[in-house]
Structures are given as C-alpha cells and as structure tokens.
Structure 1
C-alpha cells in the first residue's frame, strides 16, 4: 500500500524552502527554533517522542533525584506561536534521496533540505550477552527502568535467603568511566551513604559495592589528567570501587565477567560507548564504524546534495579534532546556529561560513560539593566547581517551571539528605478486547 505524502501539512508558500529536521535533541531543536523565526522556511521537525529530554540529568532520574517531567519539555509547546513549524511524532524508516523524501511509519514527507540530528544510541559493540543483561542510559525510559530495577532488587534482597543472590541484588556495576558513569556512580554512592540505610534498616549496606569499570587507564578520558585524578579521588572518598584497565567480556545472569575476575551484580548499567543512529538511505561509505556521518566544514553530508548532519551523529574531521568533535551538547548547538546562518545566507545569496567549534569548557559532577570544571583559562574542583556545574545545567533546562522544580528539588535534597521519588512504577499493559 502506497504511503500518503505530506499528510495534513500545507504546501510551502511561494519562495519558501521546506526544511525537514530529524531529531529534537539539542541540535535539532535549536535549528528548528532559529529557522522558525524566518518566513523563508517551512520547518518540519520529526522525532519519535513528543518531548525534548535534557540528557545530562538522566542519571538523576535514574537515582530518584528528579522526576522525568522535570528534565523533559513538550516540543509542541515550544512552537505554539510558530505557524511555519510543524511537528510529527514518528519512527523514521529511510531517506529516499532520488525523490527527496523522508519515509516514516506514518507516511512520506518531501523536503527541499534535510538535516539529520538523530543523536546516538548505546553502543554494546555487538556483544549480545552484554546487551541482554545490562541497560543503557540514553533515554528517560531507560533512566526509569534503572530506578525501578535498583529499588526492586533492594526489596528482593530483604527476603532472599541466598547470600549470593542478596549480594548481587545490592551490588551495582557501572561500565564506562565517562561523565555518565562518573556522575551515576557518585549519585548512587550518596544514596547508599545517606539515604538507603534509613529506609532499609534490615539490610547491611556496608556489603553493598558500587563498581565503576573503565577499560582505559583513567576516568573522564575527554578531560585532562587533573580532572581524571580528581574524579577518581572523589569517587573513592565516597566508597566507589574504581577499576581501571579492566575490560568487561560479557554479562550473564547476575555476573559481570571481566578480564580480571567476576563481579556479582544484578544491576549493570552500560555507559561505555555510543554509536550513531542507523539511517537507511545514507550511503555506507560516509558512515564511520561508530555510526557517525561524515560531513564537510559546512555540515553538509559528503557526496550528497541538500542533506546535512549536526550534533553527535555528525563526523567533521579537522586538524584540531581529527577524530571528530566531542559528542556534547555545545557542539550540537553551535553547529545548529552556524547551519541556520548559512541557510539564511544562501537564500540571501550571501557568503556562508564554515563551522569552528568554540570550546567554552567542560565539567562533570561527582556528588554533593564535588565536581570538576575545565575552562579555557583554569581547571579546578570541589565546592565552587559544583556550584558552577549546578548553575550551568539549571540555566540550560527548557522552561521556567522545570528550572524552578529542579532548583527546589536540589535545595531540599541538599539540606535534608533525602529524596522523595523512590517509587517503583510497574507499567501494566491493559488488555483491550476487540470490538
């Protein structure tokens, strides 16, 4: 059956270009907002979810520090007053370059220019055993799953008569020593040290081990040696068992098998890698082994007309970044800004500018009063770094209401050493009898 084309989307006005943006992450959303300000473009934003999620704080949802709604913002609300911006919630199936069409599960959509901003997914490096027995942390649903799983395992540990089963239920293994792994390990350590013993007095939390496993010789590999060592010291101070130069071979049941031994854990979080989202219709020759799409200095996909890629999925090789730019939000946002200017310049027949990343600094938090910050002119850690980390992330959240609730949560948690969101939510599929 032939799919309908451009269902319920009016034809673009005379002189307008239709820009289809795939993905409402940091890059895609920023580009849509900028192009939506100009009547020279008709913008169609396609995403599988009807919300934008603030990924840097997913670990706080996973550890019951924040509600999912606090770090999510409805896409349609952002564009309520933009008559030239259209939203479609759909799974993308393919790009059909010959007809300049995007194929989705709900229909086909024609484009004048296409921007791929799909971001990345968890990379399990083809290891099915790891994929089956661990969970990534890239989406709100995964964060909720981790929260539910950890809390359910504590309940199971209360009633288990098998010491090995109880030990595995208490232990947590986090694979990957990047910012996600470091921040998650620190948050769970604070839960164990300050909150869980009050709620589960029957359990001996001195037997609970938090393992942070990293295959290389240091944490936070994209940051300096200073920050790596600081983060390691902070985590060890919190009681996290940091295992460097350790490779995870596979996971099976409640065991994590590494090249240096076996770890008992029913809670395994995989934060050891990411790969670009596969998109049918993009030639394999421009896709790297990690799934990133090769682009030129203007974010145009190499060898293709009218197709661009920005953000985590874009691979732009430069002398400063021979392995591509860091897969972080500032890169995606800056690429979106540059591409928006270039698309407007093209319409005005003005000169376009190549992309140059302006690195304003990087940061990672480990726990209460503990963080590391690297600015172009200084590197430091501790309380001041933690305050800066909180301020930057709070200001980056969409919506005044979300900022307010996150601030109140952080303030309450800081002074009370307590979290109020430790709910085990069990989704139930409702059977609907056919009519």
Structure 2
C-alpha cells in the first residue's frame, strides 16, 4: 500500500503546486505570508530559466547559471515546503496526488506542469531528434555538437563528414531562430579555431518552417527582418516545408527534397503535460486543460491550472493564451490573490492578460522585438532590439549570482568572439552512437 509522504500538517489549508516553472514559482511567491501551507512538487530540485536553454546548448552560458534551487528561492518563506518527486496520478475524490515518494493530500491543487515537445505522433522523430525543453536536452545538444566534430576528424568520406557537420532545425519560432543564429556565429568565430582540420565552409545550418513566415505571431516586420538576418548569417531557411520523416541520417521533406544530417533539433511544436486522473472532457486538443477566467479547471472546484498547461478559452483568445512565460507568471500571481480571496469569502478576480509583446535574438547585434508599453506598440529590429532582449532576459534570470555569471559570459563572448563552455560531459556513447554508416578509417 502506498504510504503518505512525510509533510507536516500545520493546521492550514494546503495548496499543492505541481511544477516549478514560471507560473508555479510566481504562485508560491504570491502566497508568502498567506494563511496557507504551500507545497511545491517537481521532478527537479531547481527552477530552469528556459529562454536561455539554447545558449547552454551552444556553449554561450554555463548550465548552472540558468538554474536556481527551489529551496534557495524560498528559504525565507515560512509556509513553503518542497518535495522532489515525479507525479504519477491524481485521485480527485480523495484529494490526493500519487507521487514517486508517496501520497500527498491537498485542499487546493494547482497544475503548473508546463509543456513538452509535440512530435505529432512521429515516434521515430521523437526517438532520434533532440528537443529543447529541459537542461538535460540542452546539455545533450551541446555534447552532440562537439562530439560530431570530434568524430568528423576521424572519417575520410566526404558525405559522412558532412552528415556530422550539418544541422537541421525544425521549427521557425523563437527557439529555432535563436538556435540557428547561435550556431551560425559558432561556425564563423569559434569552431574554425577549435577544429582547424575541418572546412567549415561545408557546415550547413538548415531551418525548416512549415509556414510562409518565421516567428509566427510576431509582426510582419519582425518576421521579415529575422529571415534577412539569418540569410545574412548563411543559414539556409526552408519556408512552406514540413519534415516528413527522419531515419537518423536522412531528413525527408514533404516537397520531396532531402538533406543529410546526424543532428535534427526539434523546435516545431509543444503539447501540454497533463497529469493522469483529470476528466477527459477537461482536456482539449494539444493536451491543454480547459480553465475558466479564474484558472479553475473545468469540472472541478478545487483544481486549478496555470501557464502552458492551461487553456483559458475566451472570445478574445479562442486558442487560449500563448504558451509563454508572461501569461504563466501573471496567472500565477493572480491565482495567489484569488486563493486568498476564496479563503476570506471574497469574490475572485478574472484574469486579464497584459500582453507585453515578444522578442527573439538572431545573433550578435541582431534581434527583433514587438513591445507593448503604456498601450503603445513599439517595433524595433537590429541593435536596439538586441540590447532590449539582453536587458529583459538578464533581469529575469533568477538569483544575483546567475545574473552576474550570465553578464560575464555575454561580455566575454562579445569582446573576444569566443564561448568558454565547450565541454563534453556525461555519457559520450549515449549521445552519439557509432553507426555502421560512418567510415572508421582514421585520417592520419
């Protein structure tokens, strides 16, 4: 029989938060000093600043500079408790959550589980492509990139060398665009110094986008400039193309075109990550949970969802709010207020999203930004947008030490055209298996 997790009952209503992303963190902070017990459960013991995962993957910043321990974030919050565990399912009748460390009771349950990569049912792609949703993914990609060049030094066949040096990024959203830009800068400034025997004129970076524009959802100016910046950097952008399949060596497009690459990076779509136990009728397409304007999950009085997992369908937002950090953070803050209002017998406030715009960086001195400030829309591209992007992301990183380390990494990279985090860590053989198609004739 599954045992209850050892969490002290302090005689106050328990708010159980599943997931320590942007929404979960803001909710827990907003309940500081409230007459509740806050319990946060996550499979990691740290919060990850996901917008900079691509910089970890491309050796731009250190891995530990974009993460921060939950217990350190909340070490002075008396009503906060954390447990490291995987959540397995919810028993909504008994108000309990089954986890890898036992059962946890709740009075109010908040699902802030975020999103996972959506491979649209393609199991082979899921097994062979690298996604960008976690720190582990970012480190896997960094290992893969560096190992590819180490292996390329040991093969003689030109096709095999190209398969190791070429990269295919699937998805033209912010993650795909930023990865393509970062790889192009490494190709120009860093890799030729590290691997002098290789010809980096032969290194191709492909960006495949299913639609007619990059950065869908941003302005026409942003999309157009992002495409121009990438093409200036030598990235091969394939618009109106879909990746039909990938066998680990050849990428097949729906247009009949093919490319050879041992590394496909998947940034094409995301899907909600619901927990087992929620009624099927409360789960919408894309595995997002249907919530009302108070973030209450449809069909429940004591279960809420915030952030990427939540689909607040309204006339103004028929698909729900965008799966970005800002909606998650704003929902987390308001839900904290509303829980306090519920306990005090006061009416809850409806969520009203304050859209502050979107940004993406393409490389050195190049970014695009669509900002909404004081009810005015500001569209800028190039150096000004790049400075804004850097400032916003720097102040958003959790922890003073992390802000300092990221700043130093960026300054070093900017003035030296170098990145100092080109380490291969972890299990080398897992990241790039030796395939029979690779020639084993060493170049002497």
Instruction: Say which of 287, 294, 298 aligns to 2:294.
Output: 298
Offset at residue 205 of structure 1 (A):
0.5
CA contact (8 A) 2:43 2:86 kept: yes
2:300 and 2:74 map into 1 onto residues whose CA distance is 30
1:428 and 1:305 map into 2 onto residues whose CA distance is 49
Is 2:264 the partner of 1:268?
A: yes
Offset at residue 428 of structure 1 (A):
8.1
Is 2:369 the partner of 1:373?
A: yes
Pairing of 1:242-253 with structure 2 (within 5 A): 242-253=237-248
Q: TM-score by structure 1 length? A: 0.96
Is 2:190 the partner of 1:195?
A: yes
Is 2:395 the partner of 1:395?
A: yes
Aligned twin of 2:50:
55
1:11 and 1:202 map into 2 onto residues whose CA distance is 64
Aligned twin of 2:347:
351
Is 2:184 the partner of 1:186?
A: no
Offset at residue 209 of structure 1 (A):
0.4
1:371 and 1:410 map into 2 onto residues whose CA distance is 15
Is 2:81 the partner of 1:82?
A: no
CA contact (8 A) 1:36 1:42 kept: no
Is 2:131 the partner of 1:131?
A: no
Q: Which has the higher contact order (CA 8 A, sep 6+)?
A: 2
Deviation string for 1:225-276 (max 9, x for gaps)?
Answer: 1111110000000000000000101111211111121111111100000111
Helix, strand or coil at the partner of 2:172? coil
Helix, strand or coil at the partner of 1:343? helix
Moved over 4 A (4+): none
Deviation string for 1:318-360 (max 9, x for gaps)?
Answer: 1221111000000000001111111111122222110010011
**How big is the alpha-carbon RMSD for the aligned residues of Structure 1 and Structure 2?**
1.1
Are residues 170 and 428 of structure 1, via their aligned partners in 2, closer, same or farther at CA, if it must alter by over 3 Å? Answer: closer
Aligned twin of 1:420:
420
Offset at residue 43 of structure 1 (A):
0.6
Instruction: Say which of 191, 201, 204 aligns to 1:209.
Output: 204
Helix, strand or coil at the partner of 2:355? coil
Pairing of 1:2-401 with structure 2 (within 5 A): 2-7=1-6, 9-13=7-11, 16-38=12-34, 40-260=35-255, 261-376=257-372, 377-401=377-401
2:274 and 2:77 map into 1 onto residues whose CA distance is 30
1:89 and 1:414 map into 2 onto residues whose CA distance is 38
The unaligned stretches of length 5 or more in structure 1 are: 430-435
The unaligned stretches of length 5 or more in structure 2 are: 430-444
CA contact (8 A) 1:370 1:386 kept: yes
2:352 and 2:248 map into 1 onto residues whose CA distance is 47
Helix, strand or coil at the partner of 2:153? helix
2:427 and 2:10 map into 1 onto residues whose CA distance is 42
Helix, strand or coil at the partner of 2:131? coil
